[in-house]
Structure 1
């Protein structure tokens, strides 16, 4: 009887980390689902569009050519960027950063009306935030060039 109890305890102890890992992994998967991670990635792509417009302006592209350039980027994003890989890497980040209970709390938040609003608005907010950053960088480009010029001159062959 003691041997049987010892075996049961050993099995429970041995498999507990696996069960915890699966539970945490499942929770992270649910978190990414309620966060609509694929939509967030698409929002990140949309945030790149001002940069693509800048490239089109530098190349002096027509509206049709600009649209063609955007379509090249869209095709690349849709067909070449491995969003599953990115999602799994993001899952690892969340898993490494948050405890099981914290992940569950975040999931609960994202299931509230405010959390759902955040999920739905995040792609557009990301895009707008990127535009704000890009505009400020453009306004301060001269200051950057003034700081870079001595460095570049110093390091030219």
Structure 2
């Protein structure tokens, strides 16, 4: 009886170990290629440029009329692109995906992205990202006055508390 229990436990442990095999670098690189991760990053930068311009415009700054603001924005975007370039992000992404997904899981995800539904998801992803950015920007516009009011309230409370301790 003990031998059967030991055998079952060994088989169960071995099957769990096989299922949890870490994703290989080759599989992770294939995933990043199939999902067009580098292109997605480029599109994210373009969305960031548009969002920055929209935020400046909504704050009353007309970047088309102010060459200094245009230059500042270009420098900022160049810095972000340089520091978060694909060349700098690829290795950390490979490590991250390797720590999160097993080989089997990543193979299943790759299979999905190679399917018609997965391909549609990839093609529509930029549209979803743009829509999400617009939605977040709208939410932030309505949130900013609330944040400002809360900050002012907290500041007033700190000043009142400070005045009490000074007396």
**TM-score (normalised: structure 1):** 0.71
Alignment of 1:41-56 (within 5 A): 41-48=41-48, 49-56=50-57
The equivalent position to 1:121 in structure 2, one of 117, 124, 132, is: 124
Change (3 A) 1:128 1:67: farther
CA RMSD of superposed structures (Å):
2.7
CA deviation map 1:3-52 (0-9, x unaligned): xxxxxxxxxxxxxxxxx77x711100100000101111122223322233
Distance (whole Å) between structure 1 residues aligned to residue 122 and residue 63 of structure 2? 35
Q: How many residues end up aligned between the 2 structures? A: 137
Query: Unpaired runs of 5+ in structure 2?
Result: 1-20, 163-167
SS in 2 for 1:114: helix
Instruction: Give runs of ≥4 in structure 1 deviating > 2 Å.
Output: 55-82, 150-157
State whether structure 2 residue 147 is matched by structure 1 residue 148.
Answer: no
Query: Which residue of structure 1 aligns with residue 32 of structure 2?
Result: 32
Structure 1 unaligned regions, length at least 5: 1-19
Comparing 146-155 with 106-115, greater Cα deviation is found at 146-155
CA radius of gyration, larger in = 2
For the residue of structure 2 that corresponds to 1:105, the secondary structure is helix
Query: For the residues of structure 2 that align with 1:28 and 1:52, how far apart are their CA atoms?
Result: 35
1:53-105 CA-to-partner distances (Å, cap 9, x unmatched) read 32255462342647656544554455453322212212221111111000000
- In 2, are the aligned partners of 1:46 and 1:127 still within 8 Å (CA)? no
Q: CA distance change for structure 1 residues 70 and 92 in 2, over 3 Å: closer, same or farther? A: same
Tell me what 1:101 maps to: 104
